[in-house]
Amino acid sequence: MTPHAFNVASVAVAAACAAVAWWASVARPRRESRKAGALDVAGGALAAALVAVAAAVAVPGVGPFGAIRFLWLAGMVSAPLVAAACVVLAARKRIAMTRTAVVFASLGVATGLLGAWAVFVEPFRLQVERAEWTVPAVRAAGEPIRIGILADLQTDDACGAHESAAADALMAERPDLILVPGDLIQAPPDEYDRAAPRVRGVLSRLDAPGGVFFVHGDVDDDEDRVRALLQGTRLRAVTDEVVRTVVRGRPVTIGGVSLMIRAWPARCRASSIVDELESAPGGDDLRILLSHAPDAVFALRAGSRIDLVVAGHTHGGQVVLPFFGPPMTLSRVPRAVAAGGLHRVDTGRGAHWIHVSRGVGLERMEAPRIRLFCPPEVTVLTVR
């Protein structure tokens, strides 16, 4: 399904969900000559959700993210709009509703306001996260170094104001080393070409004494386009490669791995890079495994010589439920780890340090462009 066709389908689904919610919440009770009750309002929301599910199954070419968008439209747009209409009409005595039904409808309006926040506010509420981490004593000699992490720009915006703000915020922290764990532009080919010059301008702002290192993510699958995108910037692609640098007098070894690392323990070039990083001679260098997918942590040996895994990919879940965390992370790491930050993970082959970034951007194409209780971030990790 083309993006235009999917957008048309989304509008049609939203309208159908609103119509069904209105029928269940208002039209049916009026037809039965009774006040609308709380069950009618709740039933309207449920009916809208069922229409969204049915549409996701029935419309050809709709993937999992498309189904999520349909459900989002039902729960955060169509049903809340109907709820708002119910509250207004009940206040004007145009429809008859019980007090409990008005309360339920008001909660629906609040849900819609939360949905508006998730679309129009939170995706742009950029934060600079800071964390500190101490390496083993044998490798702790020398000055602390500041590692900047900028993950998942994942944009299709030809203006790029949000992405520019992210790059500027990171550079204002004066990092000694910058790591970029993939996912730069997610767009159809024509939109990619429109966004590329602006994104290249954003990336060209990234500079650090120890270097700027990048690995490919899920949306960086067109090698030629990515190569052209990085031209004129200081980003060095290290996918399936081991590189060495010196930061404030401290030797740092970085191994970058491709997405094939998710197939571990199957043998591939990415797993060979992990082996090379594990077995390289030397005992005083800081060793970092740079991966788009956090699942790379499972490839580390017991007593690993790799000090830290740096990853992105999860976007922190984009939606985080209080007291639960992100319902969906698309990673095998624990939910709390996928939600972002610095963690020590027990993989069954020992405990290993990993930092997962919530990222700057959003899942795009068919997915709803939302963040809720999960603001975008750039990170400065101070290593002592």
**Mean pLDDT throughout 3-16?**
94
Share of the chain above pLDDT 70, in %: 99
Q: Please report how many Cα atoms fall inside a 13 Å half-sphere around the Cα of residue 64, on the Cβ side.
A: 3
Helical packing angle, 38-58 and 64-73, nearest 10°: 150
Query: Which residue blocks in the chain are alpha helix, DSSP H?
Result: 3-22, 28-31, 38-58, 64-73, 79-91, 99-120, 161-172, 189-203, 223-230, 269-279, 335-338
Share of the chain above pLDDT 90, in %: 91
Q: What 8-state DSSP symbol labels residue 139?
A: G
What's residue 158's pLDDT? 72
What's residue 257's pLDDT? 98
What's residue 152's pLDDT? 98
Q: Which two tokens stand for residue 109?
A: 């309006």
* Average predicted confidence (pLDDT) for the chain: 95
Are the C-beta atoms of 52 and 10 separated by less than 8 Å?
no
Q: How far apart are CA 277 and CA 381, in angstroms?
A: 21
Q: How far apart are CA 241 and CA 253, in angstroms?
A: 11
pLDDT higher than 80, residue 121: yes
Which sequence spans correspond to the domains of the chain? 3-120, 127-383
Give the pLDDT band (50/70/90) at residue 64.
very high
**Mean pLDDT throughout 346-369?**
95
pLDDT higher than 80, residue 203: yes
pLDDT higher than 80, residue 140: no
What's residue 71's pLDDT? 97
Q: Top-level CATH class of 127-383? A: alpha beta
Going by C-alpha positions, the residue among 107, 148, 114 that lies closest to residue 131 is 148
**Mean pLDDT throughout 72-77?**
96
